[in-house]
Structure 1
Amino acid sequence: MKKNHLLAKWLNDDLSEEELAAFQASPDFEKYQKIKNYTAHLTLDDLDENALLANILKQKKETPKVIPLYKTWFFRAAAIFVLALGVMFVFKMLMPQTQTADFGEKTTFSLPDNSEVVLNSGSEIHYKKWNWGHNRHLELKGEAYFKVAKGKRFEVETRLGKVTVLGTQFNVKTRKNRFDIVCYEGRVKVNYQDKQILLTHGQGVSFENGNQIEMNTDSSKPEWINSQISFYKENIRTILDEVERQYNISIELNVKDTTALFTGKLPAENLDTALQIISTTYHLEVQKVSKNKIIIGEK
């Protein structure tokens, strides 16, 4: 403590001659002298205590933001919800879309480019919404009428062949081994096995078991759109299959010869009249077993 007292007096030049002599004789004096010499040139501006205090008081202390726990969970839940919506949207766009028409029904819908499609009874379509504008491709089982919006190539794929258009109106039908295509507007390119055919307005073509059948039409739309079933050189079993689809019934056929071909129309909203035309044309007898069960046999 005494040593520190002497050091303080020495720095303030308050030592007596005797005290100074004793302090200079101490072993640490040389070290203290060097420190004093090095710091002698340093200066310190006068401290304005009042200004410093005023400046401190002016500064507003920042209060740390505290987010309640319930808000934290809310934000997390909202983020998860938005992410889930995004995943669902992408999933929906990438997954194939399916449109169906059950027996006895017709289904009308629009594709992503506003192309219109009417599905006939017992038919279905598969397509993807994703990138539809650049890849207008769908798969058809059964029969459908298309009114295609103009744009890039439009393809209808069936198990028997493919139909390609740019912007037109046409009908495609696949039943068992028969493939029918009719063009009502524009142009249609048909691919069947190793054949490629170009159809224009009013032209149609059918393929059955590898055989090609040419046909023409003066209608502006398929007859089935207006509740009529149209046939062109088709046998009785094919005709009855279509009647079953349109009326959602079951028909049992008991005849030996089914090779006779029929060309004509049947009503799609009057079963009795349709059955009468069939029985008269083929000289057959119709028996109604129940509301949805019919047996047709030879007289």
Structure 2
Amino acid sequence: MKKNRLLAKWLNDDLSPDELAEFEASPDFEKYQKIKNYTAHLETGDLDENAMLSNILSQKKTVTKVVPLYKKWAFKAAAIFVLALGITFAMKVFVPQTETADFGKKTAFSLPDNSEVVLNSGSEIHYKKWNWDKNRHLELKGEAYFKVAKGRKFEVQTNLGKVTVLGTQFNVKARKNRFDVVCYEGRVKVNYNNIQVLLTHGQSVRFENGKQIQRTVNALQPEWMNDQICFYKENIRSLLDEVERQYNIKIELNTKDTISLFTGKLPAKNLNTALQIISTTYHLEAKKVSDNKIIFDEK
């Protein structure tokens, strides 16, 4: 510390004679003297503090932005989330949609134009949401009731035929080789092979094994919507197939009488009553061999 103090005083020529003698006797004096002699010719201009301040303020500050690591992860997570939303949207809009009703159940849903659909047991529908208002077309397997919103042509395609409407209420059933259409409101056009039929309120048509049957229906909507199974001149095997769908059971039939036709109604929510009506009509005996299997034997 004393050495540094002496050096500072020597540079300012403030040393007393004794201090100067002591400093000159130090081993580093010669080195200090050379440095002093070398820098003696250098001149330093006056410092203009105001000019320096103005220069600093006029310069555009460059700020280096540091993004914390956690924010980088947040950006990545947000990007993945947006991508996932885009994929989900595309799946919902462009990929064909499927609605199903399992055995023993019904499914109600709305189409993009708010048309209402109810699927009966063991049925399914396929359609596309994309451009729906201009192409109202769907494919049906099984049976469904439609309440169509007004708009462009509305088509229901089945493996047996096609139904075309503008805005109405109707029921379509396509099971095995039988195609049924009932109009409850408005008008529907039915195409079956090379046959075209126009139905109005309260009219129905059936195509089966090359035969066409038209009749009048006095109902506001299908009976199955009110948990009743309605049959019109139905053979026993087709009748039991529908009971299997409604109750989600298996039925084994041991009888020679498969020709007699049934016209009437069966409950869709009371299996014992339904089995009793079938047994009485066809002179059969129903046996429950398990919770989901019934055997009909001749009496």
Deviates more, 1:245-254 or 1:61-70: 61-70
| Counterpart residue identity of residue 129, structure 1 | K
1: CA distance, partners of 2:60 / 2:215 = 91
Q: Which amino acid aligns with 2:178?
A: R
Shift of 1:69: 4.4
Question: Which residue of the partner structure matches residue 63 of structure 2?
Answer: 64
Classify 1:131/1:280 alpha carbon distance in 2 versus 1 (closer, same or farther; 3 Å): same
Residue of structure 2 in register with 1:272 after alignment: 272
Q: Secondary structure at the match of 2:294?
A: strand
> Percent identity between the aligned chains?
71
When structure 1 is superposed on structure 2, of 126-135 and 64-73 the one drifting more is 64-73
Describe how 1:65-144 pairs up with structure 2 within 5 A: 65-70=64-69, 71-144=71-144
User: Which runs of structure 2 are paired with 1:239-254 in the superposition (5 Å)?
Assistant: 239-254=239-254
Hey, what's the Cα distance between the residues in 2 that align with 1:253 and 1:190?
34
Displacement of 1:61? 3.5
Deviates more, 1:286-295 or 1:249-258: 286-295
SS at match of 1:133: helix
State how far apart, in whole Å, the 1-side matches of 2:115 and 2:61 are. 62
Q: Moved runs in structure 1, 4+ residues, more than 4 A? A: 49-55
Number of residue equivalences:
251
Deviations 1:239-266 (A, max 9, x none): 0110111111111111113111111111
In the other structure, the counterpart of 1:37 is none
Normalising by the residue count of structure 2, what TM-score does the alignment of the two structures yield?
A: 0.79
Question: Using the alignment, how far apart are the partners of 1:82 and 1:228 within structure 2?
Answer: 48
Q: Shift in Å at residue 50 of structure 1?
A: 9.8
* Separation (CA, whole Å) in 2 of partners of 1:226 and 1:88: 36
Letter in 1 for 2:168: T
The yes-or-no answer on 1:218 pairing with 2:214 is no
Backbone CA RMSD of aligned residues: 1.8
Gaps spanning 5+ residues in structure 2: where?
Answer: 1-47
| Corresponding residue number in structure 2 for 1:21 | none
**Once the two structures are superposed, what CA deviation does each residue of 1:81-127 show, in whole Å capped at 9, x if it has no partner?**
21232122112211111111111111111111111111111111111
* Deviation of 1:228 (Å): 0.6
| Runs of 5+ consecutive residues of structure 1 not aligned to the other structure | 1-48
SS at match of 1:113: coil
TM-score by length of 1: 0.79
2:172 maps to amino acid: V
Paired position in structure 2 for 1:145:
145
TM superposition shift of 1:192: 0.5
